[in-house]
Structure 1
Amino acid sequence: MALSESQIPPNAQHYLECGTEDCEKNCTFYCNDCHQPMCEQCRDEHQKNKKTRSHEVVPYKQRKRPLPVEKCKIHPTKHIDLLCEECQIPICSKCTGTKEHRGHKVTDLEMVYDETCLLFHEEIAKIRSYFEPTSEDLKKEIAGDVTDMKKIMENIRTSIKTEAEAVKKLVDTVTSDKIEQVNKIERSLLETLSGQNQGIDDYINYLNDLITTLYGCLSPLNIQQLTVALKSKSLIIRPIPETSKPVPPVFTAGKYSKEDVAKLLGRITVPNTKPEENRKIKPMETVTKVREFTIPGFYDVFHISLGKLGRFWASDYKGNLVQTDLHGNQLQKIETSGKWQCYHTTTGEGDLIYTDKDNKVIKRIALGYTSTEFIKTGDWVPSSIHSSDINGDILVGMIKNGKCKVTRYNKTGTEKQNIQWDNKGQELYELAHYITENINGDICVSDYAKHAVVVVDKSGQHRFSYTGQRSTFTPYGICTDVLGHILVCDVVSETVHLLDQDGQFLYLLLTSQEVNSPNTVCVDDKNNLWVGKWKTNTVTVYKYLQ
């Protein structure tokens, strides 16, 4: 039994099944009156039925979102399905006859709800693609400033310690000099005192000698010596040598304060200036419209293949494939079984290659020639195709019995490689809807059923899968540019995502405010972005790379 839309999780990895009872085919259409997904066959039956032939059946992407079911609190048997424009409150049909709303203008609430949902999806897309990542960038910048600030403050602390060490060394040097000065003064003073001390010692020796002499004169045995001594002047005692008390040096303590020491260690100041300019916030990325083409007879444009001589091929959801010049003139038209997929591509020689799903063959149209069979794909139905700009190989997405793979052929049509499983034995693809190749040889598949862009390297090893920005992601057209960027359309949010070659989301290159319903993208040799749309028959060309 098919899941209802409300039961499908946002990141569902499966086909949306037809809502008709006992039908398990894939949903591709939607009845806006019944709010029921349906396959192509059930759509045809729905439109043939007399009761439902007037219903609005549209491609699933153009569906109206069903209004949530809610009972009126005043009239419990009625559902709320109108909006009173004057009161701006939801009401039921019975409320229009009440006193509060009688004569007021009312609007279909389902239409308002659908428009509001689209608006909110756009706002969410802007938040996810610009405001949120820009805020995250500012957080990273602030974190970088924190790291830088910590380094600056640590450098200041180191400088203070270095300055203190220098002052300490200078203090030690001055201290040594002053101590040496004290030592010299001390030696000089001690020498003076030592000289005085020696003079006193000599004088004491003189006195002792004098006493001995005098005692000798007092002896009764030496009268003659006494007579001589009495007549001698040596009997006069020399005066005591003069000495003086040396004046010691006086130490006067230096006069300094904490502030004086602080000055020696430098100054820490906060500049009395305003902070730097506000952080620069990158502007929302914009692209410039270069020109626009109209494809006569088309309802929408599902895929574009750029050719030579100013010509390109475009296909619609019915399988019409036309060649058009840059003036919008139709040059060729082919009815194919391809429909809403990337089922045609141009080679380096300018030939067109396209898939014939019904007959399971790949056909080629050389310049100015008719269509010829090129490759038979056996039991596999070719769903998407791309001609490599690197070596001319042909990459083909194929499906069979619910399985999907990518097959590589060389330019002559010989099979070279099959890619179906990852290194864990899990299936890589559910529907290789659109396919392209990057400048490094990566094979990039837009898988509508898996809600992912699946990328493998040229050997077939899974590199990464991109599943959008935390909202339902429904990829369609995909291409790459000269810088290795991956550009992919999201048909639900009506945006074009820009990724780097490693699958990192960069930003929304185009939003629903800038382009209406982008469905397919490709980049020409002048780095212009071509966008085909599924609500109109126009192709718009933008300049986005300088």
Structure 2
Amino acid sequence: MGASLQRRTEHFIFNLEPTADKYEIITIIRKRTTLIMDPRTSAQDVMRCDLCETAVVQMHCDTCLVNLCKACVGEHMVSDQSKKHEVVQFKLRKSTLLFPGCKIHDKQQCTMYCNQCDIPVCDTCLASDQHLGHKLSKILQIIDEKKENIIKEKIELNDTIYPTYQDIASDVQNRMSQLEKEYGDLSTAITKHGEDWHREIDKLVKKLKAEVDEMKNTQLNTLQKHLDEINKTMSDIKDEIESIDLAVESNDKSKLFKFTSSVERYRKLPQKILPSLPTFTPCKIKGQDLKKIFGTVSSSSPTSDKHGYSMKSTQKSPEAGSSPPVKQLLDEPETVTTIDTGYGYLYNVTCLSDEEIWTKGSDSTMKLFSINRGSLLKSITTKSGKIPSNIAVTKSGDLVYTDYADRTVNIVKNEKIEEVIKLQNWRPWSVCSTSSGDLLVIMESDDYKQTKVVHYSGSTEKQTIQFDDQSNPLYSSSGYIIHITENRNLDICVSDEGARAVVGVNQAGKLRFRYTGHTPGPKYKPFNPLGITTDSQSHILTADYFNDCVHIIDQDGQFLRYIDCGLCNPYGLCIDTNDNLFVAQYRNRQVKEIKYISKI
């Protein structure tokens, strides 16, 4: 019951206009709800004194880091008189500075630092002759210097080294994926070559067997003819024998005188025909010889690039190959024009062309304006009559909008609204059109616990992006506003208000970077990213509502600079084909056109 009440309360607050206080209110609600629901923080489980272990904690010794009740303070003070006990109220604990302990004099704190010996020293050390004439510094000064160096190292680790290692890890993962694909292609090629060999061998075997059959039939035919001739001769011999018998046995003796013997003809026997059997002489199959005939695979092993990886730089490097000409960021961006939209509040802007922009405000009407004249050209009302969540223009020039209330993504063609996507258990936030003409939609589950990016081709779901390689959510949830765009290098970039970050993933959905702002902001307020867009140089621009500015970061998530130009609560962003920036300002309902980058 408590969780449901908390969620409904937070959802109501999130729909208020963005203010810094909104987050403080949410934090208080969450803390108080947690205190109510968590039995560990209930009144039945309070902190007890470390000495008597019965009374409630009221005091704290900053020197010994011990929790005390008032009755046990005196006992603790006399327990170790070698220390200077700093006892304060429990809520003021850790208010006393703890200096390093002296390595020579036990239980002594060091308040000075010997620069020559490069060690902290206590008062007893100073009283001795050991550090006489040495240059000394206050320990606080040395601590501040060390703290400053450590913070610098932290900034370098956080802003440069860690992102570089992220890129290296991503590069290695990409190489592994590519290696898997290429080795798969290699195995497929070998299999195909083997199949080709099998086909050729089958053909050869068939041909050789046909030749053998032909030779067999030829020799059988020859032998059959020879056999036929022998059989005929044998028949003739039988006839001759019968003729002799008749002549010998006849009473007519004259027949004996007339009889002519043919035995001489049969004494000459026929030629002996011997069939010749062909022989099959197979080529000897030797592994190495066969590999040479079939094909070989060259050996390979990982090598190291002598140039190695390069540390990430905050400077934009020129893109090679088919990249557009490099444009330089202007030192002083300038406002070109301002358009008053007439909404109660203004949320989004998107370019239809270099002359026209669509806008979306706090009602159900989406308005098309002329940039040069600032005049209203057309208005479209949502099909549901509800406020659209977000608008974009497709590659073909059609207006597309998301409707959070009725869970739909819609396209306006010839002023007629067509429902493209209808969601179940999810609600759409932001939408953008990709370079291929598809749609990227970022959506939130009905229970506010999940957020994901879905890639659509028409109404067909092609890809879902929700978790990183460790199965952690890439994006925050609980009703925060999230915008999306596709960069020129095909990265998918999301401005996540809840996480106060810009999250970049590659086309495959692998995390590339997470930009959490540049400290300090122009107005020293928390980074509050809302609208997001990209330009021809693969720069990523995001509106920072609380700091009244736009952040420009490079394609690797490195900060380049701010755009200010007197902005007031920037909310939505878009860029035309000439890299002119359009900023939708929430409170004053105006769209500002800003020139921030040089022309060729």
TM-score normalised by the shorter chain: which range applies?
Answer: 0.3 to 0.5
Determine which structure has greater relative contact order: mean sequence separation of CA pairs < 8 Å that are 6+ residues apart, divided by chain length.
1
Q: TM-score, length-normalised on structure 2?
A: 0.44
Q: Which structure's CA Rg is the greater one? A: 1
